[in-house]
Amino acid sequence: MVLNDPIHVHGQEWWRHAVTYQIYPRSFADGNGDGVGDVPGITSRLPYLRDLGVDAVWISPSYTSPQKDHGYDVADYFDIDPLFGTLGDADELLERAHELGLKVIVDLVPNHTSSDHAWFQAALAAGPGSPERARYLFRDSEDGPPNNWMSVFGGPAWTQVEDGQWYLHLFDSSQPDLDWRNPEVGDMFVDVLRFWLDRGADGFRVDVAHGLLKEESLRDQVVEHGKTASSDARDLADVPLVERTERDEPMWDQPEVHDVYRRWHEVLSKYDGDRMLVAEAWTQSPESMARYIREDEMSQAFNFAWLLAPWSASEFTEVITGTLAATEAVHGSPTWVLSNHDVDRHVSRYGGGATGLARAKAATLVMLALPGSAYLYQGEELGLEQVDVAPEFRQDPFWLRTGEPGRDGCRVPIPWSGDEPPFGFGPTAGQPWIPQPTEWAALTVAAQEGDPGSTLSFYRAALAARRTFATTSGDEIEMLDLGADVVAFRRDAVTVVLNCGAEPVDLPAGEVLMASGAVGATLPADTAVWLQ
């Protein structure tokens, strides 16, 4: 650990321009053949990610966990679940990644623990009024739940325990919310941060970063827009961008949450190597997102605006300009993301099939040209679509609580090679924990490698092209008006054009640096290009 690290130059930290690849451990690579991905599996595939051309990996949780929400229910923040391996395996992963020049971002889950966590078990045993209960949000209520809040996964956000008290869980009942007004909670998480920083973690993705503090009164939510009282991506997706700021959310985005990140900023600043924090904060506007990345708080926040927007040039343009204005106002760094483990894959969101894939590649190419950093989700480089998982294989708590399909369809194990499942996912024959579609034989890494027309080759080329200009082209862009169906901007010497309309559009003069499809004198529908 070095204070005042001489390599650190403010404004040039590695994460500002990084492309980070999200790994969902149970679905990336299975080292031991039990049908579930694991840490040694990830380590074995790191050279693939180096060759893909990403700078960093963010690994979804692999802590000790009963896996009720696939690791976002942590029972021990200081160990790895045996399903995924050991602490020694995690150390090896960190070491190998660093040898390959890859940074590693660990997923931190501070809003809630698992109900198996020693603290929650102690709280149950100790009873009402105890210091053990005071680490969570236990309340008395005679007639039903203490307020009208709904769980993001459906149903009331409160569960009653045997002695009559209720505890709050904004997610599954197996994920009790911690009381961040209790100093013991903050102190424990500083220990967690240091534990992983000391092992070499380069940063943390902070789960539910906007949720840690609730309005202290725990008052009822005023429900608007004819919606339920829950609030998450799925709800926001139905609300037009302009209306999103009108929601009453006493459970999210409270001013006091920022004190937590100021403290964490201090903790990280004592380490060398520009360690970073990226917020998963489903806030209502670019401005509220930007508050998480003020200079003394986090490094980045996921910018979900594009991922929530439909295929529309005007919406995309609004997302780009709104994001850049809001981040610039706080001297922050923008991020871009189109897919993750919580949303339908973007090929499918944009219509699926050939059209969906063309649009997904085009949107990705535009995202990669923008100032700031980009996040990719495992399998998008193969053009994978959302899978319609048969009900008997669904495991998402959202499905279990609501009966709606949920998120399993974007979590199907990655196809690496071969003609039949598990497509090289692991060493054992047969289907992994969620069955892979047999059509994925054509989409394996092995099938796409060496095919210049494949989605994988496109991603490799785009990431290589980005590398040559992303860090040197400055953070300014100039939006261009090339028609209502077109997103267009200039960044330094590169002009980026995306055609969201149905008809080809004329292109400005310039040499084609990268294109998401065939380009001639005009730019076809659903295609993007970088011109120099």
- Please give the residue ranges that form the binding site for ligand NOJ (CB under 6 A): 69, 72, 109, 171, 207-208, 280, 341-342
What's the closest the beta carbon of residue 266 comes to ligand NOJ, in angstroms?
Answer: 25
C-alpha distances (whole Å) from 202 to each of 106, 254, 381 are 8, 27, 24
d(CA 335, CA 52): 20
What's the closest the beta carbon of residue 171 comes to ligand NOJ, in angstroms?
Answer: 5
Q: State the DSSP H helix or E strand holding residue 317, giving kind and residue range, or none if neither.
A: helix 313-329
Residue nearer to ligand NOJ on the CB measure, 38 or 280: 280
d(CA 228, CA 244): 15
d(CA 269, CA 249): 32
Residue nearer to ligand NOJ on the CB measure, 63 or 459: 63
d(CA 427, CA 443): 19
Instruction: Show the tokens assigned to 428.
Output: 């054992």
Residue nearer to ligand NOJ on the CB measure, 179 or 280: 280
d(CA 141, CA 166): 7
C-alpha distances (whole Å) from 302 to each of 209, 336, 451, 520 are 10, 7, 32, 35
Q: State the DSSP H helix or E strand holding residue 258, giving kind and residue range, or none if neither.
A: helix 257-269
Q: State the DSSP H helix or E strand holding residue 494, giving kind and residue range, or none if neither.
A: strand 494-499
Residue nearer to ligand NOJ on the CB measure, 342 or 526: 342
Which one, of 24, 25, 74, 64, lies nearest residue 175 by Cα?
Answer: 74
Instruction: Show the tokens assigned to 338.
Output: 């189109």
d(CA 361, CA 365): 6
Alpha helices in 14-144 (DSSP H): 39-44, 46-52, 87-99, 118-126
Residue nearer to ligand NOJ on the CB measure, 231 or 454: 231
Instruction: Show the tokens assigned to 292.
Output: 């998480």
Question: What are the E-state strand segments in 90-190?
Answer: 103-108, 138-139, 158-160, 166-168
What type of residue sits at position 235?
A: D
207 noted as active-site residue: yes
Instruction: Show the tokens assigned to 470.
Output: 């992303």
d(CA 261, CA 131): 25
What's the closest the beta carbon of residue 72 comes to ligand NOJ, in angstroms?
Answer: 3
- Give the number of other Cβ atoms within 10 Å of residue 101's Cβ: 9
Q: How crowded is the C-beta side of 102, counted as CA atoms within 13 Å?
A: 29
Residue nearer to ligand NOJ on the CB measure, 16 or 112: 112
215 noted as active-site residue: no
What's the closest the beta carbon of residue 273 comes to ligand NOJ, in angstroms?
Answer: 26
What's the closest the beta carbon of residue 75 comes to ligand NOJ, in angstroms?
Answer: 14
Q: Is the sign of the CA dihedral 390, 395, 397, 401 positive or negative?
A: positive
Query: Which is catalytic among the residues 207, 232, 297, 396?
Result: 207
Residue nearer to ligand NOJ on the CB measure, 69 or 315: 69
Give the rounded distance of the alpha carbon of 178 from its chain centre.
22
Residue nearer to ligand NOJ on the CB measure, 339 or 448: 339
* Cα angle, residue 56 at apex, residues 264 and 26 outer, rounded to 5°: 90
Instruction: Show the tokens assigned to 40.
Output: 């040694």
What's the closest the beta carbon of residue 234 comes to ligand NOJ, in angstroms?
Answer: 12
Query: Which is catalytic among the residues 280, 315, 385, 396?
Result: 280
Residue 342 per-residue DSSP state: T
What's the closest the beta carbon of residue 73 comes to ligand NOJ, in angstroms?
Answer: 7
Q: How is the beta sheet containing 103-108 ordered, strand by strand?
A: 300-301, 276-279, 203-206, 103-108, 56-59, 19-23, 373-377, 335-337
Residue nearer to ligand NOJ on the CB measure, 72 or 423: 72
The residue sitting closest to ligand NOJ, measured at its beta carbon, is: 72
What's the closest the beta carbon of residue 413 comes to ligand NOJ, in angstroms?
Answer: 17
What's the closest the beta carbon of residue 428 comes to ligand NOJ, in angstroms?
Answer: 27
Residue nearer to ligand NOJ on the CB measure, 172 or 274: 172
What's the closest the beta carbon of residue 389 comes to ligand NOJ, in angstroms?
Answer: 16
The residues that are catalytic are 207, 280
